[in-house]
Amino acid sequence: MASAIILRSVTKTYTRAGESLRVLDELDLQMQGGTFYALMGPSGSGKTTLLNLVGGLDTADAGEVIVGDTDLGTLDGSQLAAWRARNVGFVFQGFNLLPVLTARENVELPLLLAPLSKAERRAQAERALELVGLSDRMDHKPRELSGGQEQRVAIARAIASDPEVLLADEPTGDLDRTTAGTVLDLLQRLNRELKKTILMVTHDPQAATYADQVIHLDKGKLGRIDDNRAAAKRS
């Protein structure tokens, strides 16, 4: 069974120019493994911060963040890095591929952290690219790809090491409607066929419809949670 994500009384404060802002305020949240979540809320509600905490990119000031069996608060910097490499895949808004590497090399990047041989790395990367439908573009550099293609390569990179959790921060923000649809379809497939837990931050209600559940945050606290599947069954 894929990992559950549990946040208990999580608080995160940012200080900027002398002022401190409480971005997450004693947040309690439980997410089931294998579910596709959308995370929505007005700007400054702490969506991205929540994502960063779950991904081990940042640490909470108070409370616990538990992903699967691991309490992230007990890990130090390099342990978090190692944990991230094995357990999490990231998809960002700006695609964030390394411009100097080809598509395949970008996908191989996280695999360098795993004890794989060169041939195994290559095979796994190619499989991931096949999954996202970009086998024919493997040797192209990012600047030779369209926006949608870049984002799909990013997704391939995210799943290359076969993590249980995928974290996506506004993955369709820079894409047009049609291309966005392709990417969201892909995410849905990854969730339904490979049982990946997906947490996607978005401000686009249309994008949120692809998720199983939509979590609303407001001023650092949990708002309501909509269940799309329930709604789908009803209709």
Partner 1 sequence: MPWQLLWRNVLGHPVRSLLTVGAVAVAVFLVCMLQAVTSGLSRTLDAAAANRLLVQSAVSLFVDLPLAYQQKLASIPGIDAICKWQWFGGRYEQDKGGFFPQFGIDPETFLVSYPEMTVVDGDYAAFQKERTACMVGSDTATKYGWKVGQTVPITGTIFQRTDGRPWEFTVRAIYTSTSAAVDKISLYFHYDYLRESVEQGGATGPEGVGVYMLRVTPGTDPLTVQQAADALFENGPQRVQTTTEAEFNRQFISMLGDVPTLLRLIGGAVLFAIFFAVLNTMLMAGRERTRDLGIMKALGFTDRTAGLLLLAESLALCAIGAALGLLLGLLAEAPFAMMTAAFLPGFGFDRDTALLGAMVALGVGMIAGILPGLRAARLTTVDALREVG
Closest CA to 203 of 37, 41, 23: 41
- Please identify which residue in 2, 101, 116, 194 interacts with partner 1, judged by CB under 8 A: 101
Instruction: Give the range of 24-32, 80-88, 180-188, 197-205 binding partner 1 by CB under 8 A.
Output: 80-88
Choice between 2 and 109, CB closer to partner 1: 109
Choice between 62 and 98, CB closer to partner 1: 98
Q: In sequence order, what are the residues at sequence separation of 6 or more whose Cβ sits closer than 8 angstroms to the Cβ of residue 221? A: 25, 26, 27
- Please identify which residue in 2, 6, 85, 116 interacts with partner 1, judged by CB under 8 A: 85
The answer to whether 115 contacts partner 1 (rule: CB under 8 A) is no
The answer to whether 2 contacts partner 1 (rule: CB under 8 A) is no
Residues 176-235 that bind partner 1 (CB under 8 A): none
The answer to whether 123 contacts partner 1 (rule: CB under 8 A) is no
Interface size with partner 1, residues (CB under 8 A)? 28
Choice between 14 and 32, CB closer to partner 1: 14
Report, in Å, the least distance between residue 107 CB and partner 1.
11
Choice between 32 and 59, CB closer to partner 1: 59
Choice between 121 and 137, CB closer to partner 1: 121
Residues near partner 1 (CB under 8 A): 52, 55, 57-58, 77-78, 81-86, 88, 90, 92-94, 96, 98-101, 105, 109-110, 112-113, 157
